[in-house]
Structure 1
Amino acid sequence: MTERTGERLAVAVDAFLAHARHGRGLSEQTVRAYANDLEQLVAFATARGVDRLSDLGLELLRDWLWDADHRGLARSTIARRSSSVRAFTRWASESGWIASDPGVRLRAPKGASHLPRVVSSDQVRTMLDGLAARAATDDPGALRDLAVVELLYAAGIRVSELVGIDVRDLDRGRLTVRVLGKGGKERVVPFGVPARDALEAWLDRGRPALLASAQAGDGHATGGGRAAGGGRAAGGGRAAGDGRAAVGGARNAAPAADALFLGDRGGRLGVRGAYRIVARLLQDLPGEGPSGPHTFRHTAATHLLDGGADLRAVQELLGHASLGTTQIYTHVSSARLREVYRTAHPRA
């Protein structure tokens, strides 16, 4: 591609965001973060008389980060800004928009290190026992909540992957589920017998009752794709709200009737709905940190490593592109071990 040194910086940013969304299939959340950071960069550069991409240099980028630090922005925010601009300038260089990458030498402070929240195995057991007692009444919502939590913990999947599962993705005989992860990558994830039992109860007694109730009401359950509150967009990308989003985007739109998990009104369960289910369970448990579905992903990974699982096997299970991402859970295991030591050893 011919170098496009005359292009305005804002035009290049728009092209990069389109590439991130459609070319790389990044999640809408990631694209929004890029957009917010790069809009701040464009405003900063314009105020200093830099309007062209070719005039964007390392010193201006450093000044931009220094200004953020001077204004008291968090280290994690500055680190994210640095990552965003380096992704942008690398793309611009590799795509031929500029001759060289001005961001390749840009450095920023690392974000504050926060270990993910992990629930103990005893707490998980108590939580699931309580859900099972509610589900024994055959209440459709209780059957769904038990199946949701069992699958989140058993498979260690992301919430976006969970709400994107269709009934046909589930193999109850082989105890596996097919999910669509980041970058449109599919993987098959195993789960255990307790999760299978909860899923079978939901599919046999809970889901049909919830779907029939919705169809008897306003009929929204069998409409086309997901709606704005939890929908797979018709073009395969992220809809305005929740659901299987641009993390995949490769599968075609499917009726809500195909969804494995349904919301209370009979449509496909969305991300917000899954968050509400989990938050209610975690809010009363001891421990700090987020109370969303990702807690069960963190917990599953940590418990696997505690039980002797190979790090690369956990990486494959979680769908991490980099082993370094999975290694955070080894730090979690070490931290928990040190805490046990401090509280239990007489000479700690």
Structure 2
Amino acid sequence: MGWLDEPEHKHHPHHAEIVIFERWLRQERGLSNATVQAYCAAADHFFFWSAGKGVALNAIQMTDIDDVIAAERKRGVWKRRSIHDYAQRLRAFFLFAETRGWCRAGLAAGIIAPRFMADETVPKGLGREDVLRLLASVVGDRAVDKRDRAILTLLIAYGLRAGEVRGLQLDDLDWENEMLRVRCPKPGRTHLWPLSHEVGHAILGYIREARPSGFGRSLFFAVHAPIRPLGRTALGKMVRDRLAGIGIVSGRRGTHVLRHAAAQHLLDQGMSMKVIGDFLGHRDPSSTAIYAKVNLAALREVAALDLEGLA
């Protein structure tokens, strides 16, 4: 109706170049929305920093790129994986910028991301007790409580990704056959899940008592105006806030921590890696193998193996 004043987004001097880069990523490279946003966010981050230093794109040198990475590393917020991803995305932008003549040649070749071995760290999931405490803490008659409980049951019971939960539609709920259809944007497939009584009860309570009507077929919406489907970061913030409410304020606290917890719970119950991989929607078995590193019982069995004098 033209009554809502959208917040103004801050732009750096090279916003126009980022728009062209974004269009190329979508139309020429065919990358997903999440990937395009990540590449553009890295370039935006760099240009906000360079704008503060008064350095234009055509005057950027390798020392400027080194300085911004060193500054983030000094802050202690980024781990080696974050720096690796940031450097890779910056290199992609400067490769594109060189072809357009926006910057001096050779910058992209000089950006070397730090080494990062896949699966070098142990997944930092929540213990089962903390997961149950989290779910038990979401009680109340407020609309936000009913919505958050429905979301948490989906994350905990099925180990879904945040994007999979945000993408759910009313039509994905088959109440007659007690099935749930989940579109998985990362592997690009659709999965059918049996709709458990606990999850179905939480979702039905939200739909009947808290979900706003007349705004589309999406399942989950913002509670306060403007009423719209949940944004990309909304679920992560909700999980962090709810974890802080039960006293968990350190470590990884986004939605993925509940996915790790779901996988670890299945592993602790003796499920095979193949079953866990199918449960999580992994195409590649190596994506699931990381959870074997924290199966201490299995590691103890290996350590206790009788080598019959071969050792």
Contact 1:156 1:298 in 2 (8 A): yes
Deviations 1:68-112 (A, max 9, x none): 46556356454233211343466689xx879x9975685332479
Assess, with a 3 A threshold, how the Cα gap between structure 1 residues 65 and 189 changes in structure 2: closer, same or farther.
farther
TM-score, normalised by the number of residues in structure 1: 0.57
Alignment map for 1:87-126 (pairs within 5 Å): 87-88=92-93, 103=108, 106-110=111-115, 115-126=122-133
Structure 1 unaligned residues grouped into runs of 5+: 1-8, 215-220, 224-254, 342-348
1:156-235 map, 5 Å: 156-172=159-175, 173=177, 175-182=179-186, 185-188=188-191, 190=193, 193=196, 196-203=197-204, 205-211=205-211, 221-223=213-215
- Aligned mates of 1:50, 1:277 — CA distance in 2: 38
Secondary structure of the residue that 1:157 maps to in structure 2?
coil
| Deviation of the 1:152 alpha carbon | 0.8
Match of 1:243 in 2: none
Q: Indicate yes or no: 2:263 matched with 1:301.
A: yes
**Contact 1:189/1:317 (8 A) holds in 2:** no
Which residue of 2 is the match for residue 25 of structure 1?
Answer: 32
Structure 2 vs 1, CA of residues 103 and 314 (structure 1 numbering), >3 Å: closer, same or farther?
farther
Residues 25-104 of structure 1 correspond to what in structure 2 (within 5 A)? 25-27=32-34, 29-36=37-44, 39=47, 51=58, 61=62, 63-68=63-68, 71=71, 73-74=73-74, 76=79, 78-88=83-93, 103=108
Task: Give yes or no for the alignment of 1:278 onto 2:239.
Answer: yes
**How big is the shift at 1:305?**
3.6
TM-score by length of 2: 0.62
Quote how far apart the aligned CAs of 1:18 are: 1.9
AA aligned to 1:152 is L
CA spacing shift, 1:66–1:259, aligned 2, 3 Å: closer
Q: Residue type matched to 1:270 in 2? A: L
Aligned-pair identity (%): 22
Residue deviations 1:327-347, cap 9 Å, x none?
55444x25xx39x99xxxxxx
Query: Once superposed, what is the RMSD of the aligned Cα atoms?
Result: 4.7
User: Which residue in the other structure is 1:218 paired with?
Assistant: none
Any conservation in 2 of the 1:116–1:289 contact (CA below 8 Å)? no
Shift of 1:161: 2.4
Q: In the alignment, is the contact (CA less than 8 A) between 2:168 and 2:183 conserved in 1?
A: yes
Q: Distance in 1 between matches of 2:251 and 2:194?
A: 26
Q: Alpha-carbon deviations, 1:6-51, whole Å to 9, x = none?
A: xxx99876543223345312326414423225637987xx96x984
What's the offset of the Cα at 1:154? 1.6
Secondary structure of the corresponding residue to residue 190 of structure 1? strand
Residue 226 (structure 2) pairs with residue 260 (structure 1): no
- The match for 1:252 is none
Q: Structure 1 197/167 Cα, relative in aligned 2: closer, same or farther at 3 Å?
A: same
SS at match of 2:250: coil
Residue pair 2:122, 2:290 contacting (<8 A) in 1 also: yes
The answer to whether the 8 A contact 2:149-2:202 is kept is no
**Count of residues paired in the alignment:** 269
State the Cα deviation string for residues 240-279 of structure 1 (Å, max 9, x = none).
Answer: xxxxxxxxxxxxxxx1xx2223443594552465445433
